[in-house]
Amino acid sequence: MSAVERSLLLLPFFILICVSSFSQEKQQDSTKIEKLEEVLVKAVRVNATSPITHSNITKEKLAKRNLGQDIPILLNFLPSVVSTSDAGAGVGYTGIRVRGVSAQSTNITINGIPYNDAESLSTFWVNLGDFTSSVESLQLQRGVGTSTNGSGAFGASINILTDVIAEKANGEISNSFGSFNTRKHTLKFSTGKFNKHFEIAGRLSQIKSDGYIDRATSNLKSYFLQASYVDENTLIKGLVFGGHEITYQAWNGIDAETLANNRTFNTSGMYTDNEGNIQFYDNEVDNYKQDHYQLHFNERINNNWSTNIGLNYTFGRGYFEQYKEDQGFDDYDFEAIEIGGETINTTDLIRRRWLDNDFYVLNANANYKNDKIDLIFGASYSSYDGDHFGEVIWAQYASDSQIRDRYYNGNGKKKDFSIFAKTTFLISKKVSLYGDLQIRFVDYKTTGFTSDRINLKVDETYNFFNPKAGITYKANDKNSFYFSYARANREPSRSDFESNINIKPEELNDFELGWRRTTNKFNINANAYYMLYNEQLALTGNIDDTGTPIRTNSGKSYRLGIEVEANIQISNKLVLQPNFTISSNKNKEIDGELLNLGKTNLSFSPKVIAANAFIFQPNKNLQFSFLSKYVGEQFMGNTDSKVSKLDSYFVNDFNMTYEIKSNSIFKTIIISGLVNNVFNKKYVSNGYYFTYDDTWSVPGEVTTIEGAGYYPQATTNFLLGVTLKF
C-alpha cells in the first residue's frame, strides 16, 4: 500500500478528530436536526431552494408503478428523460438519456457510493433487479448538478437513498403478472427497532419475462439486507445487496425491412445447421453476478456538526455467451489441422467473454450548519481492478486447444480521488449564494488484449478542476429565481479508447437560469439551460459487437433549451402534472474522416420532449393515472442523414392502485394495474446508425454505404400486481 493510499484511509478519522475539536456538548433536540439517514446522500443532493435543476421522487410515487420494470422506465415521465428497453417491455437491459445525454454520461450513486462501472462508465440496472423495492427516495439532477462521487455527471445525475429504518416490525409480499409471461415476486421484512436501537431488514426478489422481442428472456434474482444501529446522534448501517441476471441477448436490433415486416425478430443466436436450416442457439445469454457491501457511519456531533463515512466493496463477475459461425483459427490462437487431406482453419464455436472485477470506495464527509451557512466538505477515493478474458467452451474443430484456454486476456486498473467543498450562504432572507469546488484525480491503465485481440495500452492521468457557483433570490413566499454556472470534465471510457487510442477528455460549461413558483394548488419549475461542450464524447450512432454505443470527440457543440414542469391541483380529486422540454442541440463543426459538415444536430437529441399525468383520486384509497409521453424526431448520427432519423412517437399508459385496509393478518392489501401503450402505438425509442466504404461493388470506385438498426418497443401490454402488507 502506497503512502497516498494509507493517507486516504486515515483521512476520515482525521476529519472526525477535527470536527470533534469544534464540537460542543451533544444536543438532544430532534426537532432541530435533520434525519441521520439523509446524511448518507446529503453530500450529493441539493435542497428545494438550491440553484440546481432537479426533480425528487419518493418511495410512494415509485411504488405505484413498481410491477417489475426497471428504474429508467419508471423515470420516463420526468422532464427531458427518454428511456428505452432492449427487450421492448422495460425488463432486462434498459437505458436512460437526459437532455439527449447518454447513460454513460449520467452519474449514478447509491447512498453516495458510485454505481457507474468504472471502466465503461455505463450503468447496468439489470444487475440489480427490483432495486426499486429497496429505494426510499431518489433525486434526478439535470445538467452538471452538484459535485458527486465517481465519474463526473455530464448531463445528469441520479442519486439514490435506500430503505430507511422502520420503527415497527413489518412484512410485505408482492406479486405481479402480465404480458410476455412477465412476473415479479418480492418478499420484504423488517424487525423494526428492537432494544430501541437495532433493526434488521431485507428483501428477496425474482423477476422473469419472455420479453416483447423474440427470445429476449430475463431471469433476474436479487437480494437486499441491512443491519442498523441508531440512537439520537449515531447511525451505523451495514448493507449487502446484489443480483444475478441471465438475459437472452437482444442488443443487435433489426433493420428497416425487418422492422416493417417482423418487428419482434431477434438475430441473436442465429446460425445455419448442416442441412442449411436457420437455427437459434438457446443459450445466447448475458450471465452476470454483482454483489455490493456497504458500511456507513454517521455521527451528529451537535446541532451544527455531523459527519459521514462510507465504505464499499463491489464484486462483479460474469460473461456473455455466443454461438459464432465460420470463425478463423487465427482469431483464437488455434493451429490449422488436416482432416482427410483437407486443411481446416475455420470452425463454428461457442465462446464466452468474461468480466471479473473488484471495486473499492471510501467516502468521508463533514457538514457544518447554522442559521447562515451550510458547509459540506469531504473526499472520495475508489480503486477498480477489472479482468477481461475470453474462453472457447465448444468448437466443431478445436485444434490443439484445451478447455478453459483463454484466447485473449486484458486488465484495466483505475484509481479515482476527489476532494470537494460546497456551501450555501444565506446573505439575507431573500438571497442565498451557492459555491462548490471539486478537484478530481483519475489514473487509468490497461494491459493485455481486447476481445478483438488488439493490444490495448492505456496509461493516462487526468487532473480535473470542477467549479460551480449559483445564486437564489426569493422574491416572496411564492416565487424564487436562481442562476448557476458549473463546469464538468470527464475522462473517456475503455470502449472509447478501443475505438480511438488518442481520444480526448470532454469538458462542459453549464449555465442554468430558473424560476420556481409554489402555491397551495399550483407549483411550477421553469428553467433555461445552455450547455457548452468542448470535445464532447458524442454518440456516433454506431455500436460495437456487444451493443455498446461508440462515441467520438465532436469538437465544439452545445445544448440550449427550456424545461418546464408543473403540478396543478384542479380539484380535490384531480391533479395535472405536465412537463415539456424544447431544445436545440448542435455540433458547431464535425472534423475528421467524413467532411467538415458545419452545424448539425447532436445524435439522440430530440428538439421536443413532453409528458403529462392526469391523476384522479376519487377517495384516499383509489387512484387512477393517465400518463402520456411525446418524444420528437431525432437523429441517431451526427451528420443529419435521413437514414439515421428516428421518427417521433406519442405513447400513453394507464395506471391504477387500490388500497384496502384490513384488520386481519394483512394490515393493507394493495391492488395495482398498469397498461402500457394503451393505443397500441408501434414505435422505436432507440437504434443505431453506421456507415462503411464499399470498395468491391464497382471496381475502382468507393461508395459510402449507410445503414441503421432499430430497437422496437412493445405494443399494448399490461401488468397486474397484489401487495400484502403485515
Please report the pLDDT score of residue 597 as a whole number. Answer: 54
Cell of 165: 429504518
- In which band, very low, low, confident or very high, does the pLDDT at 713 lie, cut at 50, 70 and 90? very high
Q: Is the pLDDT of residue 513 over 80?
A: yes
What is the mean predicted confidence (pLDDT) over 519-539?
Answer: 92
Residue 416 backbone dihedrals phi, psi, to 5 degrees:
-135, 120
Helix (H, G, I), strand (E, B) or coil at 709: strand
Render pLDDT for 269-279 as a digit per residue (tens, 0 to 9).
999 998 999 99
Q: Is the pLDDT of residue 592 over 70?
A: no
- Answering whether pTM is above 0.75, one says yes
Q: Is the pLDDT of residue 373 over 90?
A: yes
Q: Is the pLDDT of residue 503 over 70?
A: yes
What is the mean predicted confidence (pLDDT) over 211-237?
Answer: 96
- In which band, very low, low, confident or very high, does the pLDDT at 702 lie, cut at 50, 70 and 90? confident
- In which band, very low, low, confident or very high, does the pLDDT at 163 lie, cut at 50, 70 and 90? very high
Please report the pLDDT score of residue 599 as a whole number. Answer: 83
Nearest Cα to Cα of residue 245 among 179, 312, 317, 176 = 317
- What does the chain come to in residues? 726
List, in order, residues 6 or more apart from 665 with CB less than 8 Å away: 726
- The burial class, CB within 10 Å (0-12 / 13-18 / 19+), for 643 is middle
Please report the pLDDT score of residue 663 as a whole number. Answer: 81
- In which band, very low, low, confident or very high, does the pLDDT at 530 lie, cut at 50, 70 and 90? very high
- The burial class, CB within 10 Å (0-12 / 13-18 / 19+), for 282 is exposed
Render pLDDT for 1-11 as a digit per residue (tens, 0 to 9).
444 344 333 33
Portion of the chain with pLDDT greater than 90, in percent: 80
Please report the pLDDT score of residue 21 as a whole number. Answer: 37
Cell of 196: 430501541
* Bridge partners (DSSP) listed for residue 322: 351
Please report the pLDDT score of residue 172 as a whole number. Answer: 96
What is the mean predicted confidence (pLDDT) over 708-723?
Answer: 97
Render pLDDT for 336-368 as a digit per residue (tens, 0 to 9).
999 988 999 999 999 999 999 999 999 999 999
Residue 160, CA distances (Å) to 57, 115, 151, 583 in order: 10, 10, 16, 28
Please report the pLDDT score of residue 236 as a whole number. Answer: 95
Q: Is the pLDDT of residue 38 over 90?
A: no
Portion of the chain with pLDDT greater than 70, in percent: 93
Mean pLDDT score of the chain, rounded to an integer?
91
- In which band, very low, low, confident or very high, does the pLDDT at 553 lie, cut at 50, 70 and 90? confident
Please report the pLDDT score of residue 598 as a whole number. Answer: 61
What is the mean predicted confidence (pLDDT) over 506-521?
Answer: 95
Separation between Cα atoms, residue 686 and residue 710, nearest integer Å: 6
Instruction: Determine the longest span between alpha carbons in the chain, in angstroms.
Output: 91
Q: Is the pLDDT of residue 693 over 80?
A: no
Q: Count CB atoms within 10 A of the CB of residue 481.
A: 17
Separation between Cα atoms, residue 190 and residue 404, nearest integer Å: 44
How crowded is the C-beta side of 373, counted as CA atoms within 13 Å? Answer: 11
Helix (H) or strand (E) holding 62: helix 59-63
Separation between Cα atoms, residue 561 and residue 556, nearest integer Å: 17
Render pLDDT for 135-152 as a digit per residue (tens, 0 to 9).
999 999 999 988 888 877
Q: What domains can you pick out in the chain, each with its CATH number?
A: 3-725 (2.40.170.20)
Instruction: Render 166-203 in DSSP notation, one character per residue.
Output: PSS-EEEEEEEEEGGGEEEEEEEEE---BTTTEEEEEE
Q: Is the pLDDT of residue 546 over 90?
A: no
- Sort strands 135-143 and 54-58 into parallel, antiparallel or unpaired: antiparallel
Please report the pLDDT score of residue 10 as a whole number. Answer: 37
Please report the pLDDT score of residue 168 as a whole number. Answer: 94
Between 28-32, 71-75, 282-286, 608-612, the lowest mean confidence (pLDDT) is in 28-32
